[in-house]
């Protein structure tokens, strides 16, 4: 049964690729028309491209925005009075923060999508949750949430009895962790955190102090901050190795996502690939002409999401380089497109993407 929220349906999390091919295009076209009608800056960008929606175009032919546009332009597709929360990106030194504005409908859709996407990898039971971060990460201006804080809030709703593993001094809270493990009573539990925070404030401190914990029954979901870890020569393989060494933790799922499309994240499977879900789709494009790359050909990642209705973040050209590996044939048996992320684009490439503002196929 299709789960509905207002006029925009969200599919369940376990439909096959044939259903997605038949219905995803229509949903994306509906969202494009909605944002064109409701958001003046978005309508202006589409007009500049000469795009006039007629019928249901193939998703790959729909106009996309450069994700950086949310740093410079306020884009809202609902009355301003309906905005309840604003999410901001973690930001890069010297660059303004991206901001996306959420009403109650989009917030609910984000939580629904996140719940179903994560549950496909961790199961549907509400497990005890250990947050590998500090309570201070949630502090900030009223109604304004950084991506890290938004992630903590989102995952807190997916688990039971959320417990923070770090103190506000960003050090392991050994007593809180031991109490959590005792209450879990040897049963399964969920862990969540920002990748960079986990490595620098948890793993490195545990290693330096010779501390170890038995997290063998845990399932870790983590994402964010990889650019800084790669600069320190920390790979996904090394992160997994350290998880096993320090915590006896073998079930580790990285995810790819962004504030501009919160909720519809791309989870990493057991084979090490990121997967699209029923709520998302992915293309990889050449930087030279924005044409579609062939599988195995590196290019700029473009992401689509059925979730955002309060702002036009449904179709974005990201600032990341990736490779589409395949579709419907991953060894993990999950259907849909699967891909690898190679890292952030170089500054010159980022400028080129930003210059297009909104890229079409004229």
Q: Which domains are assigned to the chain? A: 11-359 (3.40.50.12780)
Q: Give the per-residue pLDDT at 12.
A: 74
Highest mean pLDDT among 43-52, 131-140, 310-319: 310-319
Q: Give the per-residue pLDDT at 351.
A: 44
pLDDT above 80 for 55 = no
Q: Give the per-residue pLDDT at 89.
A: 81
Q: Give the per-residue pLDDT at 139.
A: 77
pLDDT, mean over the chain: 88
pLDDT above 50 for 3 = no
Q: What is the mean pLDDT of residues 13-38?
A: 87
Band of pLDDT at residue 128, cut at 50, 70 and 90: very high
From CA 194, how far away is CA 264, in angstroms rounded?
17
Please say whether the beta carbons of 319 and 346 come within 8 A. no
Q: What secondary structure does DSSP assign to 177-190, as a single string?
A: HHHHHHHHTTS-EE
pLDDT above 60 for 361 = no
Residues β-bridged to residue 193: 222
pLDDT above 50 for 358 = no
Q: What is the mean pLDDT of residues 69-78?
A: 92
Please say whether the beta carbons of 216 and 182 come within 8 A. no
The pTM assigned to this predicted structure is: 0.90
From CA 149, how far away is CA 87, in angstroms rounded?
9
pLDDT above 60 for 352 = no
Band of pLDDT at residue 355, cut at 50, 70 and 90: very low
Tell me the pLDDT tens digit for each residue of 153-184: 999 999 999 999 999 999 999 999 999 999 99
Crossing angle (nearest 10°) for helices 17-38 and 40-49: 110
Q: What is the mean pLDDT of residues 93-104?
A: 83
Question: Terminal CA-to-CA distance of the chain, rounded, Å?
Answer: 38
pLDDT above 70 for 142 = no
Residues β-bridged to residue 85: 102
pLDDT above 80 for 208 = yes
Q: Give the per-residue pLDDT at 233.
A: 83
Q: What is the mean pLDDT of residues 57-86?
A: 93
Higher pLDDT, 135 or 55: 135
Please say whether the beta carbons of 128 and 180 come within 8 A. yes
Q: Give the per-residue pLDDT at 347.
A: 58
pLDDT above 80 for 362 = no
pLDDT above 90 for 143 = no
Tell me the pLDDT tens digit for each residue of 250-280: 999 999 999 999 999 999 999 999 999 999 9
What is the b/e burial string over 175-207, where b = at least 16 CB atoms within 10 angstroms of the residue's CB? eebeebbeebeeeebbbbbbbbbbbbbbbeebe
Residue 2 — φ and ψ, nearest 5°?
-80, 130
Band of pLDDT at residue 357, cut at 50, 70 and 90: very low
């Amino acid at each position: 049964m299709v789960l509905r929220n207002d006029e925009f349906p969200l599919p369940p999390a376990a439909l096959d690729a044939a259903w997605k091919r038949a219905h995803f295009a229509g949903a994306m076209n509906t969202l494009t028309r909605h944002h064109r009608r409701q958001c003046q800056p978005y309508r202006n960008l589409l007009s500049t491209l000469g795009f006039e929606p007629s019928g249901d175009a193939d998703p790959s032919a729909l106009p996309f925005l450069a994700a950086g546009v949310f740093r410079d332009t306020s884009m809202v597709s609902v009355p301003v009075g309906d905005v309840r929360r604003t999410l901001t990106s973690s930001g890069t030194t010297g660059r303004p923060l991206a901001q996306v504005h959420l009403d109650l409908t989009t917030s609910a859709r984000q939580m629904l999508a996140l719940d179903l996407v994560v549950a496909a990898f961790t199961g549907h039971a509400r497990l005890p949750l250990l947050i590998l971060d500090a309570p201070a990460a949630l502090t900030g201006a009223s109604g304004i949430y950084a991506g890290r804080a938004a992630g903590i809030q989102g995952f807190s709703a997916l688990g039971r009895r959320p417990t923070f593993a770090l103190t506000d001094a960003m050090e392991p809270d050994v007593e809180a962790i031991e109490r959590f493990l005792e209450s879990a009573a040897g049963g399964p539990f969920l862990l969540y955190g920002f990748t960079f925070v986990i490595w620098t404030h948890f793993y490195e401190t545990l290693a330096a102090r010779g501390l170890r914990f038995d997290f063998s029954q845990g399932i870790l979901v983590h994402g964010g901050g990889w650019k800084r870890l790669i600069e320190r020569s920390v790979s996904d393989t090394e992160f997994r190795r350290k998880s096993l060494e320090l915590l006896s933790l073998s079930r580790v799922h990285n995810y790819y996502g962004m504030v501009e499309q919160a909720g519809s994240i791309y989870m990493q499977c057991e084979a090490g690939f990121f997967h699209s879900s029923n709520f998302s789709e992915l293309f990889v494009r050449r930087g030279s002409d924005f044409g579609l790359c062939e599988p195995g050909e590196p290019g700029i990642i473009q992401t689509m999401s059925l979730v955002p209705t309060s702002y036009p973040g449904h179709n974005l050209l990201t600032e990341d380089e990736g490779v589409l590996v395949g579709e419907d044939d991953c060894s993990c048996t999950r259907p849909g497109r699967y891909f690898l992320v190679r890292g952030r684009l170089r500054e010159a490439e980022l400028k080129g993407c930003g210059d297009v503002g909104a890229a079409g196929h004229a």
